Structure 1
């Protein structure tokens, strides 16, 4: 298995260029078709008429967005030609929380960004990264809004606890591991989801190694310290990993999206790209 179809979410945010650069690099690396899906948050202008002057502001803002959209679309096509990558541009008017997961289902990998509270243009919908991970049914590579990594996958760190979600994430990330210099399995709290395991992480490490992947194991005890998510981020920093792989934990209750503690921490504080599967 490899990634032969990649979807990247594009918008008018400040970090759209690094995200596109990473998507182009990965499409070239894996020989994949790249689809750029442009989706932004567009409020109903009629809702702004209740305040004097807001209609004029909305019109001016839309013109600025149209200019930015044109610039990123021209860049997208120019970079496809330069890198000799097959691809297509899709601009959607539907809410991003609906459109991007739907289009992502027809891909092997979806690339999007972590929320950036300092950039209003990065907002495309409530809990967009969380909804994408939970509903796309495909692995999602989330790019931090502050990171030095431009080409992830040299040292892959797998967050392993023996769960269904972690197992799926491992297999979804195999294309990255096959070309990585090293993959490190970080077994959290003795791999509680591995009944009868001799040494935490050994069984999944054996499965990975059979793919010709160089793999090592580290056992981390997070039961008496701080949040597991913080422990994982500290391990990634100590190892020098440039890609985290983990299962995403969460479910919907009525209209509320409930995410697991480690998942919430990683989504908020990630400093390297994270591949998540649910």
Structure 2
């Protein structure tokens, strides 16, 4: 994956740590940083339209002013970094935020989502879903602690023989090939000629080995635990710098109602997660 433009999605008044992480990523690979500062518009009020409408319009105006002020602050900060960058503020309705951010992400090679987005769950959810489903580009989720890097030494691949997992590997191939160690992890795999083959993980391991990756294959038993917990624990045990995985092998609706690996990894991983749908 040749990464020349990195998109960073941030909220108004977000901790500068996330922006500085994105700056360092760009320095690491000599890439352009594109920053979008997002402010979700307050929803229309319910009640006496004549009385409440004025308050609502004033609130929207105040939020737009906050956005402009923060964009100016970010501009000053980025100007001091010496990197190539572009910056825009986006005041958007909640319902259309995901689509707008997804369309914006099409013009970047990778979208980075910092941990600071967790303080605005509406924005985080719409940003992640929008960029995954509407951009055809990967995203990198930063954990609340620790650094993110596009030159990881230890990479863990969550492999389930799905199309999404294959796309994730292809998008992260440059990172994988340059890593010191690559762990291919399968949870509760079943030998199946039509899917995993007679030796689950062997096919993808041979493929990556031809790209000079040093590969180990792990077939793990969940022992009744959620798959996401097994993956996260193994990533911590091997001191992974990045988890590579496909996103939403099932529909978003099903994952939200019944739970799923993608949703759990988005909500709780302590290791940077590189995702593709």
**TM-score for the superposition, normalised by structure 1:** 0.82
**Match of residue 73 from structure 2:** 71
User: Which residue number in structure 1 is paired with residue 8 of structure 2?
Assistant: 8
> In structure 2, how many angstroms separate the alpha carbons of the residues matched to 1:185 and 1:212?
15
> Residue in 2 aligned with 1:135?
134
- The residue that corresponds to 1:164 in the other structure is 163
Contact 1:141–1:274 under 8 Å retained in 2 = yes
For 1:75-99, what per-residue CA distance to the aligned partner results, in whole angstroms no more than 9, with x for missing partners?
Answer: 12322x1xxx333223334443122
Contact kept? 1:6, 1:111, Cα under 8 Å: yes
Q: Which residue of 1 aligns with 2:90?
A: 92
Query: In the aligned structure 2, how far is the partner of 1:197 from the partner of 1:166?
Result: 16
Task: Answer yes or no: is the 8 Å Cα contact 2:191–2:199 preserved in 1.
Answer: no
CA distance in 2, matches of 1:105, 1:259: 30
Q: Give the corresponding residue for 1:188.
A: 187
In the TM superposition, what is the alpha-carbon distance from 1:214 to its structure 2 partner?
A: 2.1
Partner SS for 2:21: helix
Report the counterpart of residue 151 of structure 1 in structure 2.
149
Could you tell me which residue of structure 2 aligns to residue 109 of structure 1? 110
Q: Tell me the equivalent position of 2:18.
A: 19
Instruction: Report if the CA contact (8 A) 1:4-1:33 is conserved.
Output: yes
1:215-230 correspondence runs (5 A) = 215-222=215-222, 224-230=223-229
Q: CA offsets per residue over residues 101-134 of structure 1, 9 Å max, x none?
A: 11211222111235855x24x6437543233222
Give the C-alpha shift of residue 260 in structure 1: 6.0
Question: Cα distance 1:64–1:127, how it changes in 2: closer, same or farther (>3 A)?
Answer: closer
Higher fraction of helix: 2
SS in 2 for 1:183: strand
Deviations 1:124-152 (A, max 9, x none): 375432332222211111123x2222436
In structure 2, stretches of 5+ residues that fail to align are: none
* Cα RMSD (Å): 3.1
Residues 126 and 25 (structure 1), Cα distance of their counterparts in 2 relative to 1, 3 Å cut? closer
1:70, CA displacement in angstroms? 1.5
| Shift in Å, 1:181 | 2.5
For 1:59 and 1:157, how far apart are their aligned partners in 2? 46
